[in-house]
Amino acid sequence: MQTLTLTRPDDWHLHLRDGAALAAVLPHTARQFARAIVMPNLKPPVTSVAQAAAYRQRILAALPAGSDFTPLMTLYLTEATPPEEIERAKACGFVHAVKYYPAGATTHSEAGVSDIGKCRAALERMEALGLPLLVHGETADAAVDIFDRERVFIEQVLAPLAQRLPRLRLVLEHVTTREGVEFVESCGPSVAATLTAHHLLYNRNALLAGGVRPHHYCLPVPKREAHRQALVQAAVSGSAKFFLGSDSAPHARGAKEAACGCAGCYTALHALELYAEAFEAAGALDRLEAFASFHGADFYGLPRNTARLTLERAEWRVPQALPYGDDVLVPLRAGETLNWRLKA
């Protein structure tokens, strides 16, 4: 196959940041995707509909002229989120989900939730209104081994939550383990998961074997090869529960190449090409369109896109660095060759 034409896809988990960083990364996403679920982990976090509205305006203002891209906004759940804010979110029409960060689990999660029991009223309102909860599924318990944090979170928090609120629409974001896939498969249609390109392509060796590779470091951290294979199987299975969420998370080069480097892989530049590579390696390029362009829209109750785009088999080199405000950003695979390319 030399070209692959798909319905224009959406990215159901994306970090766009703000200010000069936003202006630097947004054109990459707008070129590839028609819509994206925009993460609210700014500093300060986007906890209200008013903040989401202002952030949405900043995103629209930063779009290159002529782009056709719709940001789908989210709210950052805190232990103080009132059920009335959930009502406002549902009513406003541009907030499509609420993000649950266990406090301390990842970048800018300090304002997140330590005790999900404190969010009961907000979650019950979300369940009643059908507003999805997007879950960063890792325990922040420092006593738990970092490679076990997703599995332990599912056992201790997520499975009980799904049982207590069986109609709550839940997305286990950037699932990284076999246990995560099995949990999602064991639930009804109100529970789904996003999969990143980097977790489909890399296991933990890519992070640690032959030297520490800070640009492969993200949270949840990549796991063993057997887990990666389970993720690939889920992605290519055709199950509507699994869909594309790049988790593209830009950080300036110096913040990644440091004694204590930040978590996050930058893939907005070439997300579709990376997913195509993963699906092709699994012999399942014919399954890419449903995963990238149908399942997420269906889960969120939004219309599927109608425009189309084409990937062509053509080698190109990923730049070593990209402009990022006053700084630079190193994309995943910097300096390496990709075999698929999005046609202009």
| Cβ nearer to ligand NCD, comparing 56 with 136 | 136
> Least distance in Å: CB of 215 to ligand NCD?
11
Residues 244 to 273 in contact with Zn ion, rule: CB under 5 A: 247
| Cβ nearer to Zn ion, comparing 112 with 340 | 112
Per rule CB under 5 A, is residue 11 in the interface with Zn ion?
no
Burial code (b: 16+ CB inside 10 Å, e: under 16) for 220-258 equals: bbbbeeebbebbbebbbeebebbbbbbbbbbbbbebbee
| Cβ nearer to ligand NCD, comparing 103 with 284 | 103
* Catalytic member of 10, 145, 247, 326: 247
> Least distance in Å: CB of 337 to Zn ion?
27
**Stretch of 72-80, 148-156, 193-201, 243-251 lying at the interface with Zn ion (CB under 5 A):** 243-251
> Least distance in Å: CB of 247 to Zn ion?
4
Q: Which residues pair with 95 in a beta bridge?
A: 73
The entry of Zn ion, ligand NCD, none near residue 41 (CB within 5 to 8 angstroms by kind) is ligand NCD
Is 115 catalytic? The answer is no
Residue ranges binding ligand NCD (CB under 6 A):
15, 41, 106-107, 136, 218-219, 247, 249, 263-264
Backbone angles phi, psi at 98, to 5 degrees: -125, 135
Q: Is 329 exposed, middle or buried (0-12, 13-18, 19+ CB in 10 A)?
A: buried
> Least distance in Å: CB of 268 to Zn ion?
12
| Cβ nearer to ligand NCD, comparing 82 with 254 | 254
> Least distance in Å: CB of 287 to ligand NCD?
25
CA–CA gap between residue 175 and residue 186 (Å, rounded): 14
Name the closest residue to Zn ion (Cβ).
247
CA–CA gap between residue 7 and residue 26 (Å, rounded): 20
| Cβ nearer to ligand NCD, comparing 106 with 190 | 106
Give the residues lining the site for Zn ion (CB under 5 A): 247
Could you give the residue numbers annotated as active site? 247
